Amino acid sequence: MAQLFPASANTLARVFILGGTLLLCLFCCGVAALSRSPWATWQYVVRDQPVPFSHQHHVSGLGLDCRFCHTSVESSAFAGVPSTKVCMTCHSQIWTNAQMLQPVRDSWRNGAPIEWNRVHNLAGYVYFDHSIHVQKGVGCSTCHGRIQDMPLTYQATTLQMQWCLDCHRNPEKYLRPRDQVFNMNWEPPADQLARGTELAELYHVLPKQQMQNCSTCHR
């Protein structure tokens, strides 16, 4: 019987099969890497704002407590965005002619709120409650990073589910005393795991299995 294909066709077939498989693997790895990159997560990306507010200046420089601006963080799911009135508490007396603060003065004059661009923007199907995390001993810097060092605010973490689950699976790694929640310079002690375990029991943190239940965050 006549041979339809030369012997080299076997080699070519193997090259195409192996090459195709390799390209498919590289494509999947590329998509996975892209989904975790700042392009997709917005991690480390500074959002444009109507006023270039500096946490570095207000927190590290002036020593303002988080709760001065984020007034509902201890009692509500939302930390709260400061009203123009809060800004004008100081800026009716200082920097009164600064051009960068013109949107604040305009807002105060016409009563229209400043339209800030949200930095930490969870998907609509994710439920997050600031107050419960504060009450359980999760510090601001755990999620927001060293925001006191940011001239312009950016998202310090990925906010992806894997990142959230790491804390829900191992809360003892992150819990701190409640009186240190708003201490932006707090550092975990050498025996953090032991202390965190004690705090989890003291603050009645839910069992790990329950915290990993889908309905905890998706309601």
Tell me the pLDDT tens digit for each residue of 170-202.
999 999 999 999 999 999 999 999 999 999 999
Evaluate if residue 159 carries a pLDDT over 60. yes
3-state secondary structure of 43: strand
- Does some domain include residue 212? yes
- Does some domain include residue 161? yes
121-135: average pLDDT: 95
In this prediction, residue 2 carries a pLDDT of: 53
Evaluate if residue 161 carries a pLDDT over 70. yes
Find the farthest-apart pair of alpha carbons in the chain and give their distance in angstroms, rounded. 99
Distance CA 154, CA 62 (A): 20
Evaluate if residue 37 carries a pLDDT over 80. no
- Does some domain include residue 93? no
- The pLDDT confidence band at residue 3, using thresholds 50, 70 and 90, is low
- List the Cα angle 133/136/142 in 5-degree steps: 55
Evaluate if residue 87 carries a pLDDT over 60. yes
The boundaries of the domain holding residue 164 are 123-217
- Does some domain include residue 96? no
Q: Among the listed ranges 34-48, 88-102, 133-147, which one has the minimum average pLDDT value?
A: 34-48
- Does some domain include residue 63? no
In this prediction, residue 47 carries a pLDDT of: 92
- List the Cα angle 137/217/175 in 5-degree steps: 15
Q: Which residues pair with 155 in a beta bridge?
A: 43
In this prediction, residue 40 carries a pLDDT of: 84
In this prediction, residue 125 carries a pLDDT of: 93
pLDDT, averaged across the chain: 92
63-92: average pLDDT: 96
Structurally, the chain folds into a number of domains equal to: 1
- Does some domain include residue 151? yes
- Does some domain include residue 150? yes
Q: What percent of the chain has pLDDT over 90?
A: 80
- The pLDDT confidence band at residue 19, using thresholds 50, 70 and 90, is confident
- Does some domain include residue 48? no
In this prediction, residue 73 carries a pLDDT of: 97
User: Minimal CA–CA distance to 134: which of 201, 187, 205?
Assistant: 205
